[in-house]
Structure 1
Amino acid sequence: MTLDRFIKLLKLSILGVFLMAEVYVVYRWYDARYAKSASASKHYKLTIEGAITVEMSQRIMKKIEALMRKGEIDSLLLVFDTPGGSPVASDNLYYFFKGLQERIPVTYYVNSSAASGGYYIASGAEKLYANANAIVGSVGVIMQGINVSELAEKWGIRDETLTAGAYKQMISPLKPTSEESIAYFKENILGPTYANFSSIVALERNITKGEEDSYFQGRVFIAGDPRIRGKLVDEIISYPEIVALEKARHNTDTLRELEYKEKYGSWLQMGAEALFKVAEERMGASIR
């Protein structure tokens, strides 16, 4: 190879490197610009997924309030994929989103289910959208428990829990529950919780006293059922359609996912949260 040919090849190589660098710079500029545009969207989508717990409700409210303080949220699509959960958490989120509607547009959409505590929250919608096959309703209260007293007796296991106060331990899996205890819990926990729940849904969905038995008492419905149209659900629409509708309403190409779940660093932490959730659900009535 002659010297001239070597110099020409060297120049071409250098030119090629510069061209590749220029292409890379332009690509990064466009990529950064697109990413900035997407992240700059102030229109969000939040999915309430799984069992509703107090801890979940606190995280959701804290996250949204932080965005509100910074002026970084202009609208919210609230999606339901929940069977219900804690009555306290459901009540807190019901009032929170009711108040939020007075500050920014909030659209409520039932994707797979808004049952019990989920419907408690969803009932506050100015207009409730749902998938035709979604499950809604289940306006009722449940307090679950198991009794293994016969098995315990067979194996020689006795409950020797010490208490002070006649009502301190009225239910135990190791002894039969008395009729008096059952009546007490129905009167003082299940009954009042159900009354609060049903009164809010009746008010929000314009359900009269004469109609309550048709929609309440723990009844569940498919959202597309014409019998509940205009009562438990207002309009049937698919998930892609509601997303497209929200984008068109707010003239945006992007609905940002509002993440509220914790990202744990170990299985130990995940297990701890699961145990706390189980304890929370076992300590009180559950709206589901």
Structure 2
Amino acid sequence: MLVHGLWRLLAGLRTAIANLLLLLVLALIALVVLMPRAGRIPQGCALLLNPGGRIVEEKSAIDPLARLISHAVGSALSEETLLQDILDVIREAGKDNRIKLLVLDPSDIEQASLDQLHAIGRELDRFRERGKKVIAAADAYTQTQYYLAAHADEVYLNPMGQVALQGFALYRLYAREFLEKISVDFHVFRVGTYKSAVEPLLRDDMSAEEREANRLWLNRLWEHYAATIAAKRQLTPEGINALINEMPTRLLASRGDSARLALEAKLVDGLKTGPELDEFLCQQVGKDEDDGFRRVDFTDYLATLTPSYTKAPWQERKIGIIVAHGDIVQGKGGPGQIGSDTLAAQLRRAADHEQVAAVVLRLDTGGGGVLASELIRQELLDLRQTGKPVVVSMGSLAASGGYWIASAADRILAAETTLTGSIGIFGAVPNGHKALAKLGLHSDGIATSPLAGSGNITRPLPPELRQVLQLQVEEGYRRFINLVAEGRSMSSEEVEKLAEGRVWDGKSALELGLVDELGGLTEAVAVAGGLANVPTKNALYIKQSSSSRWGVLRLLGEALTQPQGTTRLFAELARQVLPQGASLIGPQLYGDPGHAYAHSLLPPIR
């Protein structure tokens, strides 16, 4: 019996070793196939720049279980391309003697903010300044895609395609009548003439105040877009606007041919089918051994590079870069969220690390919970107490709770098209007792005080709690005003004039003193380096800890052991698996203990 058992053990070990050897061989094969192909870049070839999906500054931390579930329910996760990867590839290709020209195909770009497009456009300009040509080609161009294409020396379009210039629009759903019909009340508490984040709960249309404020910054953003493509195409902004406003008439003159109209309007330089384009590019750089023109793809070329901000001399002082994007929530947060615990841990790591001499906080957020925002601001102040300068670099959006955090920095940089400000807070508490009553459901019981059990949505909101919440919101607003005044060296009266929830574009924010200068992440790193006397080549990303990237597995454990664990688990799965923008009125309200939120709740600009 003993001999038989030992034999089975040895047989099992032999099988395990054989499997390990097989895995090792497969891993080596994969390594050979996927290894950087620096030696395979042909001399005088083209770089095919064809990023796809959403352009992001940090990829979503989707944990494996959520990814598996998303595939199981047929909800594919959106592709993401790092902005810094695109910038690195263009920059290095400009210096690479093997790369003769750049072929830009933006067809797969689904989403990118204006400040991201501007950053890519600048690198394309620098590529051209080195005497190298950029050729843009696509079957059709969305407004986002055409912004990049306009930076090319030559722009080509499929004869059946179009350039879809339409201008910018800002629309949201207003739900007052809907809420009345389903007998759901939203008790709203707010301060500020322009704090319109909760208007969709209170109105069926846009208020005059919101219309006034939004028109200002939306026009500024469009002026930037139109001026940029006009300058690149040797047109005028007035001509671009006339083309859009007269589109039906212009298209009628072109007999409904959108591609011909784009050519006549000088938006493109020529119309080419796929085979014609391939032949044209072969004439530029020669024919590839396999098929098509000689080229190196974006991902293959990227694999040969060392990404920016990932390596620095070991013993030298460094600039730490922390990227924070999404709605601000308490705790660890999930994909598309800034968790106060997670970001605080990153800031503490920067404060405690002897070699980190300065920090750049890259913020892209519309805001969130007041308490969560304040917890992060406190960590930022503690970091500054160590003598390390903190520079905030604003992305496309750094408003409300985002500005609450940014106000604690030594310096603030924003892009010209950044949306910021929105200095104001609100509270919103739903109540469904009327809807339940229509279904024959009624809540009753006893309590030791008027406030006990008052958070129960099955019961009317007591007047005592209404008074408490309004007082808390008013105090939160005063605190917001004061901390901005302190951080920006302004008087409370000066901040009041800029506040009341009003949103400002980056250029206006600079004029008003809400930011210190215009620029992106590169400029922010340079400012931080100057303050700490550290060269910019010593900048490094400070990443989240790996434990924060396993949210679903952590919540699965909580679901088995804690009363509210199941609710949190399904909420987390919904955030990771459901498509973005599934909410009716914008981001959810994230459980602030005082029901107080510093959030702009801006809908996407279309």
- TM-score bracket, shorter-length normalisation: 0.7 to 0.9
Identify if the C-alpha distance between structure 1 residues 215 and 146 changes in structure 2 by more than 3 Å, giving closer, same or farther: same
Equivalent residue, structure 2, for 1:269: 555
- Letter of the aligned partner of 1:44 in structure 2? G
Query: How do residues 189-208 of structure 1 correspond to structure 2 at under 5 angstroms?
Result: 189-208=472-491
Q: For 2:445 and 2:451, how far apart are their aligned partners in 1?
A: 13
Query: How do residues 75-90 of structure 1 correspond to structure 2 at under 5 angstroms?
Result: 75-90=358-373
Q: For 1:36 and 1:45, how far apart are their aligned partners in 2?
A: 10
Query: How do residues 72-221 of structure 1 correspond to structure 2 at under 5 angstroms?
Result: 72-102=355-385, 103-160=387-444, 162-187=446-471, 189-221=472-504
Q: For 2:369 and 2:313, how far apart are their aligned partners in 1?
A: 33
Is the contact made by 1:84 and 1:117 (CA closer than 8 Å) also made in structure 2? yes
Deviation at residue 184 of structure 1 after TM alignment: 3.0
State TM-score, norm by structure 1: 0.73
Deviation at residue 198 of structure 1 after TM alignment: 1.4
Is the contact made by 2:413 and 2:515 (CA closer than 8 Å) also made in structure 1? yes
Give the 3-state SS of the residue equivalent to 2:364 in structure 1. strand
Deviation at residue 132 of structure 1 after TM alignment: 1.3
Is the contact made by 1:44 and 1:258 (CA closer than 8 Å) also made in structure 2? yes
- Letter of the aligned partner of 1:87 in structure 2? V
2:514 to 217, 225, 232: 232
More displaced stretch, 113-122 vs 163-172: 163-172
Q: For 1:54 and 1:282, how far apart are their aligned partners in 2?
A: 8
Give the 3-state SS of the residue equivalent to 2:507 in structure 1. coil
Q: For 1:197 and 1:115, how far apart are their aligned partners in 2?
A: 12
Q: Deviations over 1:238-262 (max 9, x none)?
A: 3444346656862242532212261
More displaced stretch, 229-238 vs 193-202: 229-238
Q: Deviations over 1:253-277 (max 9, x none)?
A: 25322122612074563854956x9
Gap runs ≥5 in structure 1:
1-30
Q: Deviations over 1:61-87 (max 9, x none)?
A: 334434543423222111111122232
Equivalent residue, structure 2, for 1:281: 591
More displaced stretch, 98-107 vs 132-141: 98-107
Q: For 1:96 and 1:157, how far apart are their aligned partners in 2?
A: 46
Give the 3-state SS of the residue equivalent to 1:256 in structure 2. strand
- Letter of the aligned partner of 2:324 in structure 1? I
Q: For 1:97 and 1:36, how far apart are their aligned partners in 2?
A: 23
Q: Deviations over 1:58-114 (max 9, x none)?
A: 333334434543423222111111122232232232232233234212211111222
> How many residue pairs end up in the alignment?
256
- Letter of the aligned partner of 2:327 in structure 1? A
More displaced stretch, 114-123 vs 263-272: 263-272
Q: For 1:185 and 1:140, how far apart are their aligned partners in 2?
A: 15
2:342 maps to 1:59: yes
State the Cα RMSD in Å: 3.6
- Letter of the aligned partner of 2:398 in structure 1? A
Q: For 2:485 and 2:428, how far apart are their aligned partners in 1?
A: 25
Identify if the C-alpha distance between structure 1 residues 238 and 173 changes in structure 2 by more than 3 Å, giving closer, same or farther: same
Q: For 2:310 and 2:593, how far apart are their aligned partners in 1?
A: 46
Deviation at residue 54 of structure 1 after TM alignment: 3.2
Task: Using the aligned pairs only, state the percent identity.
Answer: 22
Give the 3-state SS of the residue equivalent to 1:281 in structure 2. coil
- Letter of the aligned partner of 2:364 in structure 1? D
Q: For 1:273 and 1:70, how far apart are their aligned partners in 2?
A: 37
Is the contact made by 2:310 and 2:540 (CA closer than 8 Å) also made in structure 1? no
Give the 3-state SS of the residue equivalent to 1:229 in structure 2. helix
Q: For 1:115 and 1:240, how far apart are their aligned partners in 2?
A: 21
1:47 to 296, 302, 323: 323
Q: For 1:273 and 1:50, how far apart are their aligned partners in 2?
A: 19
Deviation at residue 116 of structure 1 after TM alignment: 1.7
Deviation at residue 137 of structure 1 after TM alignment: 1.3
Q: For 1:199 and 1:265, how far apart are their aligned partners in 2?
A: 36
- Letter of the aligned partner of 2:501 in structure 1? G
Q: Deviations over 1:172-216 (max 9, x none)?
A: 4334435554233212x2122222121111222234344344211
Q: For 1:265 and 1:195, how far apart are their aligned partners in 2?
A: 35
Q: For 1:126 and 1:161, how far apart are their aligned partners in 2?
A: 53
Q: For 2:411 and 2:364, how far apart are their aligned partners in 1?
A: 18
Q: Deviations over 1:117-167 (max 9, x none)?
A: 211111122321101111211211222222323321111121235422112
Is the contact made by 1:229 and 1:235 (CA closer than 8 Å) also made in structure 2? no
Identify if the C-alpha distance between structure 1 residues 217 and 75 changes in structure 2 by more than 3 Å, giving closer, same or farther: same
Identify if the C-alpha distance between structure 1 residues 247 and 169 changes in structure 2 by more than 3 Å, giving closer, same or farther: same
